[in-house]
Amino acid sequence: MNNTYKFKTTINCGGCIASVKPILDANPSIEKWDVDISHPDKVLTVILKGDEPNTVITDIRKVGFSIDSIEL
């Protein structure tokens, strides 16, 4: 079962995406992720294999970005 989550972030450029890419790619719970830097809220969309969105929040905060859940 896959679960989609959206987050408001401060990931706002290609360099920022490059900073988070290694940590998100290494997270075994993440099936797919994408950041819409053209959206005012810099929305990170994550498809998880399970139901643990807090791992994404922890990972993003570790590399110095702000992140908050968006209700779908």
List the CATH number of the domain containing 62. Answer: 3.30.70.100
Which tokens is 69 given?
């859940």
Q: Which residue has tokens 């859940």? A: 69
Question: What is the domain extent for residue 18?
Answer: 3-70
Is residue 10 within 8 Å of 42, Cβ to Cβ? yes
pTM value is 0.92
Q: Give me the number of domains the chain comprises.
A: 1
Q: For 26-61, what is each residue's pLDDT tens digit?
A: 999 999 999 999 999 999 999 999 888 999 999 999
39 by DSSP, 3-state: which? coil
Higher pLDDT, 4 or 50: 4
Is residue 65 within 8 Å of 11, Cβ to Cβ? yes
59 by DSSP, 3-state: which? helix
> DSSP letter at 66?
-
- 1, pLDDT greater than 70: no
